[in-house]
Amino acid sequence: MITSKKNTAYFKHSFSFFCIFAETFSSTITMAKIYTFLATGFEEIEALAPVDILRRGGQEVVTLSITGSLFVESSHGVTVKADMLFEEADLSDADMLLLPGGMPGSVNLNQHEGVRQALIAQDEKGRRIGAICAAPMVLGSLGLLKGRRATCSPGFEGYMEGAEYTQELFTVDGNIITGEGPSAALPYAYQILSFFIGQEETHTLKHKMQFLHLIGEE
């Protein structure tokens, strides 16, 4: 193959540009390890919308069944196959743990001692935790919301022991983010993604998914 000096210069320029782009991209994007707990009776949107958005944003999300079976039935009778069983996971590498809401899913999460201990350990390390809808009740029962601002599905605020109830779509306080309910699943998930890739890249994904059009920002 014959390569002209002009083509050689072009390829050198292109390669240099690619290296600069790759270095910039890698310096702003963080690949996180995120685990989502699935219990019988989980709320579908609250569980799977964050999984979808976080994976689109380049994050590693693992769904964990706490039922003893990979197949978990949601609160509306939709069966989802989890990535692995809770017992198979090593949560020591978790950057974030996520609790979807739904009933009786949230109660089932709260009654699972392994989940409870994982949340305590995660908080002690100062690592991120997310809970939405009724699931903040789990954090409340563990005392993880004392002195914090938090939100949840209306009617469950009494279970957030020691928390200041904000009534917001989502609330971030320290390493914990809480969400209000199904309609909050998208903004809640985008906020979580921004923790790892920044607001600018998250805004780009919002545009690609027409979320900005939905909320009247485009």
pTM of the model: 0.87
Picking from 142, 128, 107, 112, the residue whose alpha carbon sits closest to that of residue 178 is 128
* Rg, Å, the chain Cα set: 20
Question: Do residues 57 and 202 lie in contact, with contact meaning Cβ atoms separated by under 8 Å?
Answer: yes
* pLDDT tens digit sequence for 1-46: 444 444 444 444 444 444 443 444 444 566 999 999 999 999 999 9
Question: What per-residue confidence (pLDDT) applies to 106?
Answer: 98
Question: Do residues 134 and 155 lie in contact, with contact meaning Cβ atoms separated by under 8 Å?
Answer: no
Picking from 188, 185, 216, 205, the residue whose alpha carbon sits closest to that of residue 45 is 185
By CB atoms closer than 10 A (0-12, 13-18, 19+), residue 49 is buried
Helix pair 5-28, 185-208: axis angle to 10 deg: 170
Residue identified by tokens 């949340």 is 119
Answer whether residue 58 shows pLDDT above 80.
yes
* pLDDT tens digit sequence for 99-119: 999 999 999 999 999 999 999
* pLDDT tens digit sequence for 155-192: 999 999 999 999 999 999 999 999 999 999 999 999 99
Instruction: Say how far apart CA 117 and CA 125 lie, in whole Å.
Output: 13
